[in-house]
Amino acid sequence: MKFFADTADISEIRELAATGFLDGVTTNPSLIARTGRPIRDVIEEICQAIEGPVSAEVTATDFEGMVAEGERLADIAANVAVKVPSTWDGFKACRTLRQRGRKVNVTLCFSANQALLAAKAGATYISPFVGRLDDLGLDGMEVIREIRRIYDNYESLSTEILASSIRTPLHVKRAAVAGADVATVPPAVLKNLARHPLTDKGLDTFLAEWRKTGQAIF
């Protein structure tokens, strides 16, 4: 499974990129707004910090506007993936941008049918929002499972499932079990994947016993 960082914070991205675990980055208008900087500068900087795809979202809601904004965003760097919403115009814009050779991430997906349309439009990625469905008392992961089954039914559908709105390590594990191709994860959650209290406890015990020997490893 690939890991994308769901952040527009350049220092967090640089830190994660240095680990070699990071395969890409996703941003959205809220994350860009939090930086307080112009979108072009933020996306350009992120694209220089990481080789993998960097999602940058359009804010137009009509077909022509989305295509025009998508072209401008994609021109920032070769690794930009244009994010368009799961709307009728968004699917049309996805198709056009893909025909022009742009990478497209169809976002704000909350149903398997939206994912089916995105794949038919040739989307590079579909982003089902797991956490926001869970927030409503629904089962966000079930949408990932359904999309996996549907995409696996048709060889011609090559869109990657990008599990989004990931809030916990449990979400990451369940998305991997469900066969999501990618998870986009807030940096704090990504770091928490490494944590287990029994690992910390076991390490403390080993080191305490080791210290008593007075030995050092060469």
* Among 2, 83, 120, 173, the one annotated catalytic: 83
Contact with ligand E4P (CB under 6 A) among 52, 131, 179, 187 = 131
| Closest by Cα among 161, 193, 189 to 12 | 189
Q: Which stretch binds ligand E4P (CB under 6 A): 95-103, 129-137, 144-152, 187-195?
A: 129-137
86 part of the interface to ligand E4P, by CB under 6 A:
no
3-state secondary structure at position 99? helix
Burial label, 209 (beta-carbon count in 10 A; 0-12, 13-18, 19+):
exposed
52 part of the interface to ligand E4P, by CB under 6 A:
no
CB-based contact 52:23 (threshold 8 Å): yes
Compose the 1-40 pattern: x for residues touching ligand E4P by CB under 6 A, - for all others.
-----x-------------------x-x------------
In the annotation, is 201 catalytic?
no
Contacts of 12 (CB under 8 A, 6+ apart): 5, 187
CB-based contact 54:79 (threshold 8 Å): yes
Contact with ligand E4P (CB under 6 A) among 164, 180, 182, 190 = 164
**Contact positions vs ligand E4P (CB under 6 A):** 6, 26, 28, 107, 127, 129, 131-132, 164-165, 184
